[in-house]
Amino acid sequence: MYEIVAAIVGRAKRHHCTLFHLSPRHDELELVYPFWILRRGAEVTLVDTGFAAEVAAARGLYDYRDPSAALAALGIAPGEVGRIILSHLHYDHFGVPERYPNARFVVQYDDVAYFAGTGRTQAYGKLADPASIDALDGLRRAGRLELVDGDRTLEPGLSVVRVGGHTPGSQVIAIDHGSRPLVLACDASHFYANEATRTPSSMIYHYEDYQRGFATIARLATGGRWFPGHDPAMLDGLAPLGEGLYRCEAT
């Protein structure tokens, strides 16, 4: 069984209409920015990477904490990370890949094709970090980029499921964790209320895929639980470990 920890590396405030498509409200909601650490023995897998301090400043995030410091608090060096599952390639989920020199990056082919291709010249593609997208070619040449086309079981008890919607290749992560399934929905649903009301964020690549993603979250989490991408309420279901660190206890 994995030890599963959420590391919160920043916070931000965004307008309600940004997080809920066609909302008439302009009040601000607070977001948390996590990456996830899955540890089993000496094996360490991350879900997403965190981002750089300069990216946080440029994008209006506060309470920044360096991901290396979060890992160090758990006794993990970045070089010990063997695999990183990228939910998608937006700047807050894929950044500074050189921080993890020995990791293999698992990402959907559709996201790489878009953000390293036509997305470079489109407004929606600016939600990615250019330097990190530029690093994809080097990861590919080094044999450290594992492109997935659809759903895949990475190992018993750990799978990725492509949902799209938010980006061309957004994927959710399904984990066997104790007696109940656990789903890391990431930005397939930014808040619990997105899934509950079937309302995407305003950052939509494909509307119908977004809707199918909501249904996929509900199906995968049946009898279990799931965590959205940025909802501070998700921390209520986690056990505090220290500064910005929260453990997901098995049930």
Q: 139-163: per-residue pLDDT in tens?
A: 999 999 999 999 999 999 999 999 9
Percent of the chain with pLDDT over 90: 96
On the question of pLDDT at 251 being above 80, the answer is no
Q: How confident is the model at residue 178 (pLDDT cuts 50, 70, 90)?
A: confident
216-238 pLDDT per residue, tens: 999 999 999 999 999 999 999 89
Helix (H) or strand (E) holding 250: none
Q: What is the pLDDT of residue 177?
A: 87
Contact 66, 237 (CB under 8 A): no
Number of domains in the chain: 1
| Interval 66-81: pLDDT, tens | 999 999 999 999 999 9
**What's the number of CA atoms in the CB half-sphere (13 Å) around residue 200?**
19
What's this model's pTM, rounded to 2 decimal places? 0.97
129 is in which domain, residue-wise?
Answer: 3-248
- Scan for tokens 């930005």, then name that residue: 187
CATH code where residue 50 lies: 3.60.15.10
Burial class (CB in 10 A: 0-12, 13-18, 19+), 24: exposed
pLDDT in tens, 182-224: 999 999 999 999 999 999 999 999 999 999 999 999 999 999 9
